[in-house]
Structure 1
Amino acid sequence: MGATGVRILGIAGSLREGSFNGRLLTAASYELPRGLELHRWGGLSLVPPFDEDAEAGPEPAGVAELRRAIAEADGLLFATPEYNGSIPGQLKNALDWASRPYGAGVLTGKPAAVIGASNGVHGAAWAQDELRKVLKLAGAEVLDSTLPVGRVARQLDEDDRLLDHDLRRGLSSLLHGLRDRIRLGAFA
């Protein structure tokens, strides 16, 4: 944990500027428990396709930046959209890089939480389940709870705060859970 607090790395699974899931990370910044800092990483588009042959050569710059950002974080918060019932390919690709080498990648033992938003009624629930599965297999310590935000265009105000009280409370609870998981790891 850093001198100024617990550092959470936020990664939105969408590459689109102004994406709903990027905005959901902003909403999370309003609900952070005291002592947590949210730093967003926006380099997803810079991570090249995973290639085991490329692992033997110089590390691509986008991969090095991803690994550094994850390694420096105390915990991770992913906000994923749902594409065809699953997580976006570019997010899965980045996780494949971050999981290597198997058993010793930067995701190993890292506390992580998953949230997601879509304009559909289910709030990217399937993608959140898929992302949690991938993170667990990569060795991350993933919270059981998620936060699906359906009909997201109606759920965020002009400052990207969640309008619904129950969603705000759910997001706050999830972030408290992430903080507690990080603290458990710090004292283990």
Structure 2
Amino acid sequence: MTTSTQTRVAVLVGSLRADSLNRRIAEHLVTAAPEGVVVDIVDGLDQIPFYNEELDGESVPASAVALRESVAAADRLLVVTPEYNGTMPAVLNNAIDWLSRPYGAGAIVGKPFAAVGATPTPYGGKWSHEHARHSATIAGALVVEGIVASEPALEGDLLQDDAAIERLVGALNDLVSHTPAAA
């Protein structure tokens, strides 16, 4: 729902820890967003039950409704996530599952999408980001190709690394400036 002056980006953070590096990255992106861009971190992912079609009927859990409404109201969806055991955290996978429903009309369908983040490995969350992009594609999102910011957070504070911050903010800018192809 882009207006002529504002683009909204919903952000899902894959780590539930209050002071996680990926939450701090997301919070940095809120303040580093270019003019005309509003970045909203979608909280409460830990309150959403695991997806179960039996729950997704007439009385969808309020936490899942809030997630869907937040993402539906945004123009873009950005995932900022670490990597757990070589893949995306379960809380993130669950959020994508809820956003993919109802089939073909979920809040994620047609939404430009990117995944970035950091993890304390030499790979920086590469597999997690690949898996999130793959799952989002299956769910109907429009994954923006070429956006890669998988940051290894091996020493020091990544948020003090100007080059890493430039890549992460650049990824946000690339997502925002992406124009989906006409259908």
TM-score where L is the length of structure 1: 0.88
Say which of 165, 168, 182 aligns to 1:168: 165
Structure 1 window deviating more from structure 2 (131-140 vs 162-171): it is: 162-171
Q: 1:34 maps to which residue?
A: 35
Q: Across the two proteins, how many residue pairs are aligned to each other?
A: 181
Q: How far apart, in 1, do the equivalents of 2:121 and 2:166 lie?
A: 21
| Paired letter, 1:171 | L
Backbone CA RMSD of aligned residues: 2.0
Distance 1:152 1:57, change over 3 A: farther
TM-score where L is the length of structure 2: 0.90
Q: 1:149 maps to which residue?
A: 151
C-alpha displacement at 1:15, in angstroms? Answer: 1.1
C-alpha displacement at 1:84, in angstroms? Answer: 0.6
Q: Secondary structure at the match of 2:56?
A: helix
Q: 2:72 maps to which residue?
A: 71
Q: Which runs of 4+ in 1 moved over 3 A?
A: 185-188
Deviations 1:34-69, CA, capped at 9 Å, x for gaps:
211111111101111111122234111111000000
Task: Give the unaligned 5+ runs of structure 2.
Answer: none
Residues 31 and 168 of structure 1 are in contact (CA less than 8 Å); yes or no, is this contact kept in structure 2? no
| Paired letter, 1:37 | V
Identity %: 35
C-alpha displacement at 1:153, in angstroms? Answer: 5.8
More helix by share: 1
